[in-house]
Amino acid sequence: HPWIRSCQDSKIPLDILVIRLVKSYLCSSSLRKAALK
């Protein structure tokens, strides 16, 4: 069924999205520390 494929495919981009969010958060926090110095 194509809807099952879409469900399985949606999991991968979600993980990538979370990783991007974490990376962006870490980058922003490191930038803040650099700005404080």
Mean pLDDT per 10-residue segment, the chain (37 residues): 65 81 90 80
Query: How far is CA 29 from its chain centroid?
Result: 15
pTM (predicted TM-score): 0.51
Distance CA 26, CA 14 (A): 18
Enter the tokens of residue 5. 């494929």
Predicted pLDDT of residue 22: 92
